[in-house]
Chain A
Amino acid sequence: MEPLTWTGTLGQFLDPVLYVLVALFLVAVLAQIVLSVATGGARVVTNPDGTLSTAGGPYDLAATATRWTGTALLALLVIYLIGGVLGGPGLGGIIGGMSQQLIPVWIALVVTFVVSIQFKRRLGLYGKLFDSTVGMIGFALVMFWVFAGVMAGVFDWISPHDSLSQVSGMKNKVPGTPLRGAEEGEYGWYLLGGDNLARDVFSRLFKGAWVVVQIAPLATLFAFMVGITLGLPAGYYGGRLDIVLSFLANLILAFPVILLFYLLVTPEIVATGIPNYMATVLFIFPLIFVAVLLNSRYYTQPSFRTPLLIGVLGVLGWIYLSLISTNGAIVSTATYAIPGLPNAVDLFNIDAGILVVFVSVVFVNAPTVFRIVRSLALDIKTRDYVAAAQTRGEGPWYIMLWEILPNARGPLIVDFCLRIGYTTILLGTLGFFGLGLESESPDWGTTINAGRRLLSVYPHAAIAPALALLTLVLGLNLLADGLREESLKD
C-alpha cells in the first residue's frame, strides 16, 4: 500500500483552495485589528426610525471579510471531514482516515447539538450555553474528547490498533505509513505514525483520552466536595475555625506543586501507605457532604429522614469502602495492614498508581476550592435573605447548604469547568515527570514524556498528545467563559 498524504486525493483539488483561504483569512483578521486601532472600530449611526446600524467604512469591510473567509474555511474543513467519512483514507488521506475512524463521535456530537439546540429554552443554564458562540465551540471541543474517550475506552471503537502492541518495522515511522504485512481485517495504516516502541500513536491518543476523561472530572468533583464541606463553615462561622483551616490551605498552596508531587507520588511513599491514609480521609468528604445536606433538609421529618439517610449513606459507604480497600485491606504495608472490605463484596479495586495520582490531584486542588467557597460564603452571609433565614430560626448547616450554596452556584460552576482543565494539566505534569502512572500508560502526559526524547528528529509522537491536551483544556476554558457570560446575563 502507498503511504498516505495528509489530505489524499481530495487534497489535490482542495488544498490550493485551503491555502488561498487561510491567507485571505489572516489578511482580513490583521486588517481588522489594525483598522480597529487606527479608525476607532465600528461607527454607529442612528437611523431616522430610531434603530441603530453600523456606518460601513473600511473597518466594517474588514470585519465582513473576516466573517466570510472564516465561514468558508470552516465549510472547507467540514468538506474534508465528510469526504473522509465517505471515502476513508483512500479519498481523504490521513485526515480522511481519522475522520472515518471517528464516525461514532461525529454522530454523537451532532445528535447532542441538535437535541440541545432544539430544547435549549427548557434546559436552564445548559440551554443558554447554546446562545453563545464561544460556549458552543468550547462545549463541542470538550464533548468531542469525552465521546472519543468513552468510545475508545469502553467500546473499543475508535482505536484501529491495540495501544500496547508493537509492530515490527513501524518504529518512529511518520504519519500515514502503511502497516508492513498487514493481515486481512487489520487496519492498514498507522494514521499518526509509530512511536519509539513501534506502537500506533493514533490509537494511544484516544486510549489516553479515556484515562484523562475518567480521572480529571472525578478528581475535580472530589476536590469540590472537600473544598465546599470545609469552606462553607470557615466562611460562615469565621473565628478560630477559619484561622486554622485557612492556615492549612495556605500551607498546601505555598508548596510548589511539582515538589509536592515528587514527595507524594513515588513508589517509596506508596509503600508506606500514606496515599491510602490520605484517600481514606479525602474520600470521606462526599459522604459527610451528602449526609449533612440531607440531614439539614429533612431533620424535621425524622420518619422520612432516617430511612433516606440509611439508604443513601449505605450505598455511598459501600462505594467508599470499596474505593479505599484493595485486596481486602485499606492500608497494606510490609509490616502491618488495616483490614477493609473483603474481596467478595469489594465492588472495584483501584490500581495503586491511579489511586496515588488521584489523591494527590485532589489534595492539590482542594485548598483553592476551599478559598473560593470561603470567600463566596463570607460575601453571601451578609445578604438579607441569610439574615431572614437566621431570624426564621433555620439551623446553620441548613443556611450554609440550602441558602448560601445555591446562591454561589454560578461562580462555582464556572470554576468547576476551569478546574477540570487545570486538573488535566496537572495530570499531564505528573505524566511528564514520569510519576504515578506506569510508563506504558497511554495517557497524554506520559506519552509526551516518552516522545520528547526524540523530539528534534521525530516530533509526531509527542505533538499528537500535546495538541490533544491543548484542545481539551482550551475547550474547557472556552466553555467556562461561555457559561460565565451567560450566567451574568440574568
Chain B
Amino acid sequence: MGLFILRRLGLMLLTALCLTFIVFFLTNLYPNLEKLAKTQGNFRMSDEAVASWLGDRGYTDNTLIKYGRWLGVAPGWTTEKDDGTVTGQCFNEGTPVENRPTFCGVLQGDWGYSLVFKDEVGSLVATRLAATGKLMGFVLLVMVPMALIVGVLAGMREGSGLDRSLSTFSITTTATPEYVSGVIFIAVFASSAFGLKWFKGSATQAIENATFENFTLPVVTIALYGMGYIARMTRASMTEVMTAQYIRTARLKGVSFGNIVMKHALRNALIAPFTVIMLQIPWLLNGVVIVETLFNYKGFGWLLVQAAGNNDIELLLAVSVVSVVVVLITQLISDVGYVFLNPRIRIS
C-alpha cells in the first residue's frame, strides 16, 4: 500500500511537471508575449520596443531556462541597464546587493508576481481559493446527499414509476450544463420579466457575506449538473445490489423492505458512488469557472478566466498547478478509498 501511494505520488509529480511545462510553453509563445508587453507597456509600442521590453525582463531567453527559473532550479534573470542600475527577477532596485538571492522560484516558495492584479500570486491564489472553497463546500453539501437520495430511491425498485421519474430527472440535469441552468434560473428567479425576484442574479457580495438570497442560485446551478451523474451511478450500483443473493435471502427471511434497503443494501451500494463523487470534483472545477463568471463571484474560477484572458503567465501557472493538484489528489483519494471500502480488492 505504501509503495502504491509512493508510486502514485511520483506519477503525480511527473504529470504536474509536464502540465506546467505545457502551460509555460503556450503562454510564452511570442505572440502571447507581444500582447503581454503591449498591455503592460504601451499599445503603440514598436516591434523593437517590444523586443527590448521583453529582453529586459528575461522573456526572450530559452523556454527551458525560463521554466527552470520559474521552478527555482535556474538562476533568476538580471539585467544591467546602460546607466548602471541592475534589475532582476529576485530583487528590487532597493535591495542591498548582499541580500539578493540567485534563485527565486516555486521551490523557494516564490510563486511570482501577477502583472494584471499587481499583487503576489501566492496570496492572490490563496484568498480566491478560500472563496471557491466556500462555494464548493456548499455545493458538496447540497449535491452529495441529494444525489445519493435520488439514486437510492430510484434504484431500490428498478422500473417503477418512481424510478422512471427520478431517472428522467437525473438525465435532464446531466443534459443541462451550468451556463444553461444558470441562465434559466436567473431569468426565472431573479429577473423582472417573470416577476419572481426571490434570489439575486449576482453573487459578488457572497464572498464576504453569503446569504440565502445571493448564494442559492450559484450553489444550485453547480450542484444540479454534477448531481445527475452521481445519482445515475448510485442507481446503477443500487439496482445491482438489490438483485444480489443475500438481499433475496433477507427478503425470504421476512425482513421488511425498509430494513433491507437501510441495513443490507445501502452499505454495499454506496461504495461505487464514493469513487464517482471524488472523480466528480475536478468536473466541479469546470462548473465553478462557468458559474463564477456568470454570477460574478470573484473566486478561483474567476481568477482563472482573468489570468487566461490577459495572459498573466505566473498567475496562470499557479492556477494550473492548483487545479492539476486537485485533479490528481482526488484521483489518489478515490483509488485508495475504494481499496479501503471494498474488501474484495487488495493491492499486493
Contact = CB atoms under 8 A, between A and B. Distances in A.
B290 interface: yes
A254 B18 CA distance: 11
Contact of A463 (B27, B174, B184, B316): B184
B157 A259 contact: no
A33 B305 contact: no
B304 A258 contact: yes
B191 A457 contact: yes
B319 A470 contact: no
A455 B304 contact: no
Contacts of B175: 421, 470, 473-474, 476-477
A194 to B, nearest CB: 14
A432 B191 contact: no
Interface in B164-207: 165, 171-172, 174-177, 179-180, 183-184, 186-187, 190-194, 201
Given A256-B282, A466-B183, A272 B193 contact: no
Contacts of B192: 456-457
A452 interface: yes
B18 to A, nearest CB: 6
A459 B305 contact: no
Contact of A428 (B31, B180, B311): B180
B174 A477 contact: yes
10 contacts: A36-B161, A41-B162, A66-B161, A256-B323, A259-B316, A262-B305, A262-B309, A263-B23, A448-B183, A458-B193
A463 B162 CA distance: 30
B30 interface: yes
A254 B283 CA distance: 10
Contact of B180 (A255, A448, A456): A448
Nearest to A434: B309
B45 interface: no
Interface in B116-134: none
B320 A269 contact: no
Contacts of A33: 161-162, 165
Contact of B171 (A40, A42, A251, A481): A481
Decide if the interface of chain A is mainly helix, strand, loop or mixed.
helix
A255 B325 CA distance: 10
Interface of B: 11, 15, 18-19, 23, 26-27, 29-32, 34-35, 153, 157, 160-162, 165, 171-172, 174-177, 179-180, 183-184, 186-187, 190-194, 201, 257, 282, 285-286, 289-290, 293-294, 304-305, 308-309, 311, 316, 319-320, 323-324, 327-328
Given A41-B161, A445-B179, A463-B187, A259 B320 contact: yes
Contacts of B194: 459
A462 interface: yes
A32 interface: yes
A29 interface: yes
B31 A271 contact: yes
A460 B193 contact: yes
Interface in A218-274: 247, 250-251, 253-259, 262-264, 266, 268-269, 271-272, 274
Give the contact-size bracket for chain A.
Answer: 35 or more
A455 B187 contact: yes
A115 interface: no
Contacts of B324: 254-255
A42 B161 CA distance: 9
A233 B311 CA distance: 38
Nearest to B166: A33
A91 B26 CA distance: 58
Contacts of B327: 253-254, 256
B115 to A, nearest CB: 16
Given A254-B15, A256-B323, A456-B190, 15 more contacts: A41-B160, A41-B162, A254-B282, A255-B324, A256-B282, A258-B308, A259-B304, A266-B32, A429-B286, A432-B290, A448-B183, A455-B191, A459-B194, A466-B179, A474-B176
Contacts of B323: 255-256, 259
A478 interface: yes
A448 to B, nearest CB: 6
Nearest to B14: A247
Contact of B308 (A63, A263, A429, A481): A263
A425 interface: yes
A429 B177 contact: yes
A106 interface: no
B186 A429 contact: no
Interface in A349-363: none
A349 to B, nearest CB: 22
A474 B160 contact: no
A324 B313 CA distance: 30
A263 B290 CA distance: 16
Contacts of B183: 448, 451-452, 455, 459, 462-463, 466
A157 interface: no
Interface in A27-47: 29, 32-33, 36-37, 40-42
